[in-house]
Every structure is written in C-alpha cells, then in structure tokens.
Amino acid sequence: MGVRTRLRRLRALDVAAAAICAALYAGGSLATAYIPTPWVVQLRPAVVIPAVFAVIFGPFVGGVGAAIGTFIASIVTYGSPILTLFSGFWANLVCFYLLGKLSRPFNHRNFAAGITVGFLAGSVIIGTYAYVVWKRTLPALLKDPAMWVLGAIVWTFVTGAICTYLMGLPLLYAIKRAYPELFMSSRA
C-alpha cells in the first residue's frame, strides 16, 4: 500500500492515538532525561509507552507517536531539534514501527521478536549517528571509535529491550485480559 493510500485511510483513532502516544512518551522521556549514563544516549524506561501503542493500535501509531514524542522531548531537553532530526526521530520511528509490525498477532514470542528487531535497528541508527556527531567533542572516540559505537549500540539496545520486555509484556497481558477486543483489530 502506497503512502498516499495509507494517509487517506488514516482514521481519527490512529491520529488521536499517535498524539496521545507522543505526549506520554515526551513526558516519560523528560522524566528520566537527566539520569547520568555511561554513553551520550539517554536511559529511557518510557520506551514501554510507544511499544504498547504499537502493539495495540498498530505500527504506524507506535512509530509516529514515538518519533514525535522524542522530537518534543529533545527540543525541551536540548533546546534544539537538530540532533533528534538526524538520529532519535528516525531511530524511534523505525524501532517502534518494526516492533508493532512483528508483534502481531500479539503473544510473548512475537513481542520478543519485535523488541529484538526494532531495538536493534533503532540502536544502530542512534549509535552510528551519535558517533558522527560526537567524534569531535569526545576524545575517547578518537582512540577507538568502533568500540564506542558498539558500546552505544549495545547500551541503547539492552536498556530499551529490557525495559520494554519487563514492563511492556505484563502491561500488555493485563490490557488484553481487560480489553480483549483491542487485540482483535486488523490494523497492520
């Protein structure tokens, strides 16, 4: 299905869910943005928010909601959208789109596969771009840039995947038990 066809088929629910996801993700990201980490990349337990939206409302809602949410959080945190336009925005869009796509139909195996593929793709985008941006300002990068990029990718992947799996899976099963009709949708 082409982009134009998909945009014409957007329902009010998709737009509203993506907006709510973006707002919640921006707020959750800001709540933990100032926790010190060993890398330039933030620790974001809030990744569970777009993951849940991606599973329930579809990959488009999760991906777009995460991308807009991280864009908002980055503007508030850094005062500029420049960094996120080249890394965080795209990493979140790809990560949560893939997570939502691969988590259907919802079960723990599909969810784990979606987390693995989505966070790996997003982490590679963030780690690679972080290296390009920060190589001039962090002297440690000049000594061993490959290890720094690998470290950033591993940090982003592991923290995001663990938070999403440990918090997202029980939350999704609780939502599924309370509202099973949300998981019978044909939104892809």
Question: What is the average pLDDT across 76-83?
Answer: 83
With a CB cutoff of 8 Å and minimum separation 6, the contacts of 130 are: 39, 40, 41, 87, 149, 152
> Is the pLDDT confidence value at 24 over 80?
yes
56, 131, 53, 57: which is closest to 92 by C-alpha? 53
pLDDT of residue 77: 86
pLDDT at position 130: 72
For the chain, domain boundaries: 8-183
Position 4 scores a pLDDT of 61
Question: Could you read off the pLDDT of 41-68 as tens digits, one per residue?
Answer: 788 899 999 999 999 999 999 999 999 9
Structural domain 8-183, CATH architecture = Orthogonal Bundle (1.10)
Q: Crossing angle of helices 88-102/59-78, nearest 10°?
A: 160
Residue 137: pLDDT above 70? no
